[in-house]
């Protein structure tokens, strides 16, 4: 269903997806290597990819909250 939805939106509407898995691990979730590759291809075509590595803001906030 996600593949169909993304295919319909491709080139028409913006889509924002956040994930903690790299694209090379998406087939673990979707279970079909070919379908996953096609979906990633549609997602990344003319896309802005932002790789946000670093310490989690939520973890920092929770630790500060626990200290109170």
47 φ/ψ sector (left φ>0, alpha ψ -120 to 50, else beta): beta
Give the chain's domain count.
1
Which residues form the domain of 26?
Answer: 2-67
Q: Against a cut of 0.75, is the pTM above it?
A: no
pLDDT digits (tens, 9 = 90+) for 13-58: 888 888 888 889 999 988 999 989 988 888 888 888 888 787 888 8
Q: How far is CA 27 from the centre of its chain?
A: 13
């Amino acid at each position: 269903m996600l593949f169909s939805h993304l295919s319909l939106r491709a080139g028409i509407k913006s889509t924002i997806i956040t994930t903690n898995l790299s694209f090379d691990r998406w087939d673990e979730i979707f279970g079909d290597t070919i379908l996953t590759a096609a979906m990633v291809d549609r997602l990344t075509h003319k896309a802005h990819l932002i790789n946000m590595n670093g310490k989690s803001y939520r973890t920092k906030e929770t630790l500060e909250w626990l200290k109170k």
